[in-house]
Amino acid sequence: MTMRRVEASHPYHQRLHVFSDGLETAMTAILLVLLGGMMPALWPYLDWRHAVIGFGLILVIRPLAGLLGLLGTALEPRERAVVAFYGVRGIGSIYYLGYASTHVTFIDQNELWALVSFTIFASTVVHGLTAGESVRLLVREPRE
């Protein structure tokens, strides 16, 4: 039973989707610029353990979770690996940590903010440097 069906092909819905997608992209870009501006203030709270956790989340935990989530899909293994590695991550963590910090007192709140910010920053750098080549390799025709 369908309670509500949206006509996705209607021009109004297409324009609305394009607008909301553009707005989301712009807000993410603004947030990343602000995050970059905050990083110098957060460096004193970081040490090697935070780097290990951040890179572990970026390079191990999130890709494995993405691969598990994509099991049973029609994607080829190479496509699944790229989607799992480059899937959306990070920005929502700012919201969740901000929300949690208004309801609970964290002992090392500055370290948590620094860790989340570092992880997003590192993810942006790692994925920014590798995405182009990964997509190029993914869409390349298989050799015969």
- Contacts of residue 39, defined as CB under 8 A and 6 or more positions apart, other chains included, come to 117, 118, 121
Count the alpha carbons within 13 Å of 133 in the hemisphere toward its beta carbon: 5
Residue 4 in this model has a pLDDT that exceeds 60: no
Can you tell me the mean pLDDT for 12-25?
Answer: 84
In this predicted structure, the answer to whether residue 24 has a pLDDT above a threshold of 70 is: yes
Cα→Cα distances 74→13, 71, 81, 140, Å: 27, 9, 13, 19
Look up the pTM and report it.
0.75
> In this model, does residue 113 exceed pLDDT 60?
yes
Tokens 């500055």 sit at which residue?
Answer: 110
CA angle 4, 8, 10 (to 5 degrees): 110
pLDDT, mean of residues 97-103: 94
* Interval 92-105 mean pLDDT: 92
Band (pLDDT 50/70/90 cuts) for residue 6 is low
Nearest to 116 by CA among 128, 129, 106: 106
Query: Out of 32-36, 61-65, 138-142, which region has the weakest mean confidence (pLDDT)?
Result: 138-142
Please state, for a pLDDT cut of 90, what percent of the chain lies above it. Answer: 38
